[in-house]
Structure 1
Amino acid sequence: MDTQQNTALTRALAEVPGPLPTSGVIHITLPHTDRFTVVGNHLAQHPDLSCTAVGLAVRIQSLPQGTEVSIKALTARCQEGERRIAAALRELEAHGYLQRFRDRLAGQKVITRTVFCNQPAALLRPRSQAPVAAPAQAPIPAPAPARSLTHVPDPDPDPDPAPVPPVPPTPPVSVPPGTSAQETPVPPPPPPPPFVPLVPPPTAPKPPRPPLPQPGTLTPELDRAATALLSDLRRHAPQFTLSEGDIRQLAPAVATWLERDAHPDTIRRTLTDDLPQPLRHPVKLLKHRLTALLPPPLPGACDLAAPARPRVVVTPFQTCDDCDRAFRSPDPGHCRDCRETREHRGEDVRAAA
């Protein structure tokens, strides 16, 4: 028995425009009129998703809103088992297409919500940069160019061709008077927000440098000690062979360190340790370190003293002269019971008199 040929597919193949490829797949694309789902190539050709995950994503995307998509519900709909479906769902969760989370309703009932996004990469873009959807227009079918192929008679003509479903009429679009359908004005997209670079360009003006620190009073002793310290830096680091003008410019800053009781060895180590290699601008480095690493003044003795706590006055204990009971009172005497007893006795004596 000969292999049966699909005559409808053969006729559609003869109408494909252009030369047919010698290898690979040949697409016969027919427009859908109902019951179709748009799937992006980012999902259909995803390099890291398995074919099971891609097919399951297409199945979930084609289901209506509110359809149960649990593992057991998908197992009842698909041919795959629970393990393969669970693994495919985990792949879709890892790549952002699917998300499952628990939500508590008003009646204290906890449910599991499943959210599917057909294009998760678009959620990461700002809303102002999202592509603006153009108004939907009915596709205009282009006439297929005739192919120079030898006509082959149909060996098995189809006596009952499948009926073509009628295309529903397109509702008329309201067009302002004086304009045609092709010239319908489209509102321009909103302007994007101003771009603010995180890193300023090289041509941006640089902020002014802070001035060198100045001492409260530049005494001759401070000036002489600061000048000697700067002149002695070349013994410890030959890169800091300074000129007389540079020393006079940096001396007030070093005098400020000395005025704040910084030890000369501490100043020397701060200025000469951990130098960049190569050191191209020694004076600029000294200005930066003298300004940015300036220590605060030492606190005084009053600042270091702990704050005085409020004194609590404690009433001392006293011993009653009558009953020897202990009671709190600033002055010695009798306790409360003995005082009340003495008051009653006095009243009785006055009443008897």
Structure 2
Amino acid sequence: MKKLIALIPGLALAACSSSPEATTAPDEGAAGVVMRPAPGVDIDRSAAPGQVVDQDGRPGWYPHEGALMEYSVDIRFGQEPHTMPDGWSFGRVSAVATDSGGDVYVFHRGDVADPIVVFNAAGTYQRSFGADMDFGNEHGLRIDRHDNVWVTDNGNHRVMKLSKEGEVLMSLGIKGEAGTTDETFDRPADIAFGPNDELYVADGYGNSRVVKYDAEGNFVTTWGTPGSGPGEFDLVHSVAVDSTGRVYASDRENNRIQIFDADGTLLDTWNHLGATQNIFITPDDQVWVITHRDNVENITYDTLAGRIMHVDINTGEIIGAMESPGHWIDVAETGDIFIGSLTGNVFRWYEDWMETEEAAQAERP
């Protein structure tokens, strides 16, 4: 069994759902809430969740084969005994990522703490940086296989490559200038890395396209235009790449994930996962998403629970799911799953189930 733990608090976990098969999330510190499994039925994956209406008239989820998972909630990083510098607190947590050593990087929108705050795996504050980078709107953060830190500055139309200590190594886009050229972005949302360190940018809110660069930051190609047809986008909110080089783009407002080859040829579309906020694919091609039923839930800033879903990469079938608010997802090399929420929290999902919080504390590093 598996366990979800809330790590970095700003607010208590707020979760609710009108989906008839789901339970609400537990209070902080609650143990072992069992969520009822959804019935195992065949799914029409060409249809969108928004086409199903629940008892309250809201778009509903299709039943799926994967069981809903057990979890409990605890709060860690950012509070005693794992404090940040005096007076610091988080604003909206837009992204979270982990490096090869297990350090946890939090990217948030707030005026008190530095924009990027780093903890070790035990939850101890390590360092912070980014206050001098003049971010317009903190959005995405990813860490590549060389432990470089990449961020999307959504408000200033930039993608930046940083060292683990916060040194700027590369900057793409022109600060403060939105555009559609090879050298400009319009509110980029996410970044992903190909097998040969290629860079894919979800250029996202304004341009509705994916932009590809080589490892040195040279423009290679771009694809996508505004719309709802095949290969078109209505807000590319996330992008991920599997071990074969296929590119998975969250077409959030069209309630789908479109899958492309490395050159932008459309290969497949998943229409059954809702308005996907974020996608993460592990090196062994485990697909995880954080998603909501539609964009009405997205724009509530995560106060309504979406779902974390584990998805089969070959079929798109949902292997398992559970309720959680969330904007960003990352899976550490240990298998722990981190969710960054605009409520000001980071939730950590431990693979090994602990019957009590005391047992969980004893097992933590």
TM range (shorter): under 0.3
- TM-score normalised by length of structure 2: 0.18
Structure (1 or 2) with the greater strand fraction: 2
Structure (1 or 2) with the greater helix fraction: 1
